Amino acid sequence: GGRLACVGLGMMLGAHIGPRARSHVEQANVVFAAVSDPLVEQWLQGMNDDVRSLQVYYAEGKPRRETYRQMVEAMLEPVRAGRFVCGAFYGHPGVFARAPHEAIAQARAEGFIAYMEPGVSAEACLYADLGIDPGRFGCQHHEASQLLLYRRRLDPSAHLVVWQAGWVGDRQCLRFSTGPAQRALLVERLREDYPADHEIIVYEAATLPVGSPRIERLRLDRLEAAVLNPHSTLVLPPAIALQPDLSMQARIDALARSEA
Ligand code: SAM
């Protein structure tokens, strides 16, 4: 019967793909590709004869919801016809990505076997390139527009990673970039929890083995003037020290004494 595997290709062309993801790409009847670079699509074409682009569904001025719905439909149609379909996504297919999660849920709801193979995401790359261990101080991840549209609690003693900052404030997800006015609102929101001179990092993982990552450090109040691309991620290191919870520390010490 029909089957769907959504796999991650990793961020760097040819360098991050796992053996399971690779074998799905090679063995599927059809591969649907959502990748950032035409070179990556060419590379997939070398592994499978039937690679179809999902990029065609993106358009300026078209609500992203509609784009995702069409991507899900495109992947499910051959599954319903009994074929083995592979959705190949750059990075991790389940990280800040709607279509793979929705396609898998929909395929399962229709009784088909569907699953996800994880990949190396932008998150994994930034830990390596910026020398950040999320376990050291904790690490919050937020989508830039969501940070503005909803009341979220930021913890400035942890790392903060802001995704999709390049189109912050685009409510219907109609565009691929927004301007300085929207960016100013993001700075205003971050200023509630961080000082104006706090160091912030614009990060872009390298996607080709010959390239190097973009790591640009600037003050928070200079963010408006920074070049932000659709593939830029913002990283804010902690602004304050960890705040000790003295009463909990005392209770843990008391427990240790009572057990000694
Ligand atoms: N699934 C992807 C992953 O695993 O990294 C993320 C897809 S999400 C739709 C797009 C966002 O991911 C961008 O706005 C940016 O925050 C981040 N991103 C994508 N490519 C990146 C890169 N080369 N370096 C840093 N962040 C990147």
Ligand 1, closest atom to CA 203? 25
The best mutation among 39, 101, 232, 234 to test binding of ligand 1, ranked by most ligand atoms within 8 Å of the C-beta, falls on: 232
The predicted model gives 27-32 an average pLDDT of: 98
pLDDT confidence bin for 192, thresholds 50/70/90? very high
User: Is the model's pLDDT at 175 over the cut of 90?
Assistant: no
Ligand 1 centre distance from Cα of residue 122 (Å): 5
CA angle centred on 226, ends 220 and 229, rounded to 5°: 120
Ligand 1, closest atom to CA 11? 23
Q: Could you tell me if the CB of 116 is within 6 A of ligand 1? A: no
Contacts 24+ apart (CB under 8 A), 222-227: 223/183, 223/186, 223/187, 223/190, 224/180, 224/183, 224/184, 224/187, 225/180, 226/202, 227/202
- The protein residue with its alpha carbon nearest to ligand 1, atom 15, reads 231
The predicted model gives 203-211 an average pLDDT of: 94
The predicted model gives 240-256 an average pLDDT of: 97
Give residue 137's pLDDT.
98
What is the DSSP secondary-structure string of the chain? --EEEEEE-BSSTTTS--HHHHHHHHH-SEEEEE-S-HHHHHHHHTT-S-EEESGGG--TTS-HHHHHHHHHHHHHHHHHTT-EEEEEESB-TTSS-HHHHHHHHHHHHTT-EEEEE----HHHHHHHHHT--HHHH-EEEEEHHHHHHS-----TTSEEEEE-GGGTT-TT---S---HHHHHHHHHHHHTTS-TT-EEEEEE---STT---EEEEEEGGGGGGS---TT-EEEE--SS-----HHHHHHHHHHHHHH-
Ligand 1 centre distance from Cα of residue 27 (Å): 27
Per-position b or e across 205-235, b if 16+ CB within 10 A of its CB: bbbeeeeebbeeeeebbebeeeebeebbbbb
Give residue 89's pLDDT.
97
Q: Can you tell me the ipTM of this complex?
A: 0.99
Distances (CA, A) of 201 to 121, 140, 215: 18, 15, 6
- The protein residue with its alpha carbon nearest to ligand 1, atom 17, reads 231
Nearest to 191 by CA among 145, 147, 241, 132: 147
User: Is the model's pLDDT at 105 over the cut of 90?
Assistant: yes
pTM over cut 0.90: yes
The best mutation among 7, 9, 11, 177 to test binding of ligand 1, ranked by most ligand atoms within 8 Å of the C-beta, falls on: 11
Q: Which residue has the tokens 């990793």?
A: 10
Ligand 1, closest atom to CA 126? 25
Ligand 1 centre distance from Cα of residue 257 (Å): 48
Residues 227, 138, 189, 153: is their CA dihedral positive or negative? positive
- The protein residue with its alpha carbon nearest to ligand 1, atom 25, reads 204
User: Is the model's pLDDT at 174 over the cut of 80?
Assistant: no
Q: How far apart are CA 118 and CA 224, in angstroms?
A: 34
**Catalytic residue list:** 64, 68, 90
Ligand 1 centre distance from Cα of residue 175 (Å): 16
Q: Could you tell me if the CB of 163 is within 6 A of ligand 1? A: yes
